[in-house]
Chain A
Amino acid sequence: MSRKEKSAPTRRSFLKGGALLAAPLAVAAPAAILADDATKARLAELENEAAIRDLHQNWMRRVNTGASDEAASLFVNAKAAAFDPSVRGIAPDHDAAPDAVEIGADGTRAAGRYHCAVETENAIPRDSTLAQMAHAQGGGYVRSVERRVLRVEYAKNAGKWAIAKAEFASA
């Protein structure tokens, strides 16, 4: 079982957390103990979500500034960081569904789903005179922006979250 929550502190997640915190006031001691456990679990979950949000934003900053080497350090395996060499920028798609993060039941695995606008840059093949001239003047690239879903898997090791896998899917 896993719990599914919005990664952003939305009104819905706030109310849900607030309900859990409010419950112990109206029940007997065993329930209070249970509530205390639930609070701790919820707190741990919120901490995990916050850590993953930070990790995601940190990664996005590095992707968008072209700091690929630094981005690789956020991955469990640096080789998994090279997910699509044509990507030059990833921006949140505010017209799409909100970001979603699922924390695994054991608290060591998580999955994120982020709707985003992905800017890619591909070099025009230098197989024609025009393309060669375009490159010679500092151009020769095609940039485009597509709506995609970024699916990211996370792993927690020694108390620290890292990216295990990242891939794009069509929006």
Chain B
Amino acid sequence: MPTPYPKEQMHRFQYTKLTPQQIADKLGPAIKSGPTSASQLSDVFAGKSLSIVTDKGPSLAYKFGSANQLTVAENGGAAASAGYGALTLGSHMVFFSHLIPDTQRGYAVVVDRGTNLATVIELWFSGYEDNREVQREVYYGYVDQAGQQAPTARHVATNRCEGKGFYWKQDAGAETLEFFPSAAYSNFVELSRMGGELSFCAPSDYVKINDDYYIYTRTECEFSGTFTAYVMDLNRLRQAGVRLGFDRNDALEYYVFRGEGEWLGQHAQFEKFGDEAGNPVPAAAPGQTAAKGARRVYRPFKTMAKMSKAEVDAACAKRTSSFVRPAGPVAGMSGNLGPNTTYLAGRTFTLRYDHAPAIEYRVEDAENLNWRKEGDANWTKARYQGWESMPGVIMFGHLLEGMPDHDGHAIVADFDQGLVTCFNGYLNTPYFANEAGVKIHFGVIEMEGLIPPKYNRHKFTEEMLGRAVSQNYAPNLTSMHLYSTPHSLSWIIFTDKDAGGLQWSGPAAYVKIRDGLYFMYWLEEACNGTLGTILVNLHTMRDVGVGYNCGPNGLSMSAVGAHERLAGEFDIKRFYQVPTTGGAV
């Protein structure tokens, strides 16, 4: 039976490193034919000429012969014939796209016929070490009207889309959830193409046309390199745009589309009131000029250490550390951690997991414990840290020295309820040995004077799904989690001006401990390989947690703690309800 799920998720798929010649060969037919479209193309420009002038960019002289053929002359050069596709949106907006003959370049253009302003997005392949990754440069300009003075207004990069989230269904059937928690990145969930298990992140542009109409782009960097751009009417929830790139089979995707959407919510922005500036992440360092198409792109897969099992074993043997206090004047992710709890000091108890070995504990003090698997004779000493996040609920973590996969446990134990949940981190995972995996153990606490439940357990929850929560770990180290699907979350880094900046995403899970208290993890797969775990208290708006990471410098377990703010919620739970088909109800 077909399912919507891919055999390999986007961050695992090995996309072909296409050569420039392969790309040129694949583009050839599309240059002549123009993009395909499930909707009827607009002939709004057919038979007309259009001269677009841009600031610091190309001038484009168009003659539109029909609804899908044009000639274009760049910067006063010779006119070239190409196929194109145009779609209108509302009474004034026209979106069209075409490629340039004998090149790997093309354009996506938005013309506002009401103001005669235009945004021109130049697109090209083979401009980065991964040739298939579409490069882009955004130019602002206007339609030159003979005898009329050029307008001074322009479309403008903006943060006005920040915080918004939408469900889109395109004319060819593609369904996505798209979240804009950053003014430089975006978060998308491929519902129909990949079943919507995980969300992914991409560098993005946001351009304001007016208070209703905006232009959005994303480039699937680190993945297929596919480029998407559309003009959207946020008030009427309609879009018209283009998709350009190569799919998993290296087939060219070049089509224009229409779509209709649903507004899913709005989460908070953290810039100062009145700050509507776009492009919050500068493309170039201060004092330097950005090259054409340049921008800051987070490339975690490219930069992560990729280690073998032997390298992991050697690194762990060389250095394994637990809760080393950061040296230097800057606190890092433990800046708002708060003090260790002494709750566990002197206690002896067993954590009995339903489907994993029980672990016995003798806790010496607030930083040292002894553990052993039930039935073992010998105790192993470990350094730990723990925090009483809610009365009677202790989160603590420790490494399990001597385990073949270098396990680490992040544990939430509710001593009032007798329940425990453990995120069991381990190494030697299938893709890269230093990339953490996780097993989730539910169970009970056995301790003198404590009778645990027989059936009740902590449970997975969707109560956090769609929420956004900011975390301030230390001065100038603030992020926000967006709980984007039941099985993934994304994290957004703020700029110095508190605009959303770079963003990434990873598989995740959410466990409800108590009302307002949630234990969650995320895996930085194809990233740094870290297992992050936090216990979020939505009453005190604090989180505490442990990170588990292995790299060339060894294995470490570290503490994290943040002050949080609720940033809002998207209404997305309904997209994850499996409909019942057939049978009696």
A residues adjacent to B (C-beta < 8 A): 86, 120, 122-125, 127-134, 136-144
- A128–B296 contact, CB under 8 A? no
Identify B330's interface contact among A122, A129, A132, A137, CB under 8 A: A122
Interface residues on B, range: 20 to 34
Chain B nearest CB, measured from A22 CB (Å) = 53
The verdict on A139 contacting B282 (CB below 8 Å), with A125-B330, A129-B528 known, is no
The verdict on A133 contacting B333 (CB below 8 Å), with A124-B477, A125-B328, A139-B496 known, is no
B residues adjacent to A (C-beta < 8 A): 184, 281-282, 285-286, 296, 298, 300, 303, 326, 328-330, 332-333, 473-477, 479, 491, 493, 495-496, 501-502, 504, 524, 527-528, 530, 547, 558
Residues of B near A125 (CB, < 8 A) are: 326, 328, 330, 332
Chain A nearest CB, measured from B556 CB (Å) = 8
Chain A nearest CB, measured from B543 CB (Å) = 13
- Closest residue to A139 on the B side, CB-wise? B496
- B530–A137 contact, CB under 8 A? no
Chain B nearest CB, measured from A7 CB (Å) = 31
The verdict on A124 contacting B282 (CB below 8 Å), with A133-B298, A134-B493 known, is no
- B476–A143 contact, CB under 8 A? yes
- A133–B474 contact, CB under 8 A? no
- Closest residue to A129 on the B side, CB-wise? B528
The verdict on A136 contacting B296 (CB below 8 Å), with A124-B330, A125-B326 known, is yes
- A130–B479 contact, CB under 8 A? yes
Counting from the closest, the 10 A-B pairs by CB-CB distance are A133-B493, A137-B501, A137-B281, A142-B476, A133-B502, A137-B502, A122-B330, A142-B475, A129-B528, A122-B329
Is chain A's binding surface mostly helix, strand, loop or mixed?
Answer: mixed
Identify A138's interface contact among B296, B303, B479, B524, CB under 8 A: B296
Complex Cα–Cα for A125 and B493 (A): 15
Extra 12 A-B pairs, beta carbons < 8 Å, given A124-B474, A127-B326, A138-B281: A124-B330, A125-B330, A125-B332, A128-B547, A129-B524, A130-B493, A131-B332, A133-B501, A137-B184, A139-B493, A140-B476, A142-B474
- Closest residue to B522 on the A side, CB-wise? A129
Show 18 A/B contacts (Cβ-Cβ < 8 Å), sorted by A: A124-B330, A124-B474, A128-B333, A128-B558, A129-B504, A130-B479, A132-B303, A132-B528, A134-B476, A134-B477, A136-B296, A137-B493, A137-B495, A138-B282, A138-B495, A139-B476, A139-B495, A142-B329
Identify A86's interface contact among B298, B329, B504, B547, CB under 8 A: B329
Chain A nearest CB, measured from B279 CB (Å) = 11
- Closest residue to B551 on the A side, CB-wise? A127
Interface centre among A120, A133, A134 (most CB of B within 10 A): A133
Complex Cα–Cα for A37 and B501 (A): 68
Complex Cα–Cα for A36 and B287 (A): 56
Residues of B near A132 (CB, < 8 A) are: 303, 528
Chain A nearest CB, measured from B531 CB (Å) = 11
- A137–B296 contact, CB under 8 A? yes
